[in-house]
């Protein structure tokens, strides 16, 4: 039986809609929202033109 976990991540198509669902339906609170792009992100992900948009709930 799972008793606790520290964190998890999900890849979603629409971050705004997903964050609103987790906040309004599941009662989570939106924390920081971070966007990253550029050469470092492209190198880490090994994907040209990569863009990261994260929401912490």
pLDDT tens, residue order, the chain (57 aa): 889 888 888 899 999 999 999 999 999 999 999 999 999 999 999 999 999 999 999
pTM of the model: 0.69
Q: Going by C-beta distance under 8 Å and a sequence separation of 6 or more, which residues neighbour residue 34? A: 52, 53, 54, 56
User: Of the candidates 28, 25, 27, which has an alpha carbon nearest to the alpha carbon of residue 56?
Assistant: 28
Residue ranges per structural domain of the chain: 30-57
* Residue tagged 């999900």 (tokens): 10
């Amino acid at each position: 039986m799972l008793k606790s976990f520290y964190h998890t991540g999900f890849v979603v198509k629409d971050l705004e809609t997903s964050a609103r669902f987790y906040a309004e339906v599941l009662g989570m609170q939106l924390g920081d929202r971070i966007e990253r792009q550029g050469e470092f992100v492209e190198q880490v992900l090994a994907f040209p033109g990569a863009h990261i948009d994260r929401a912490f709930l």
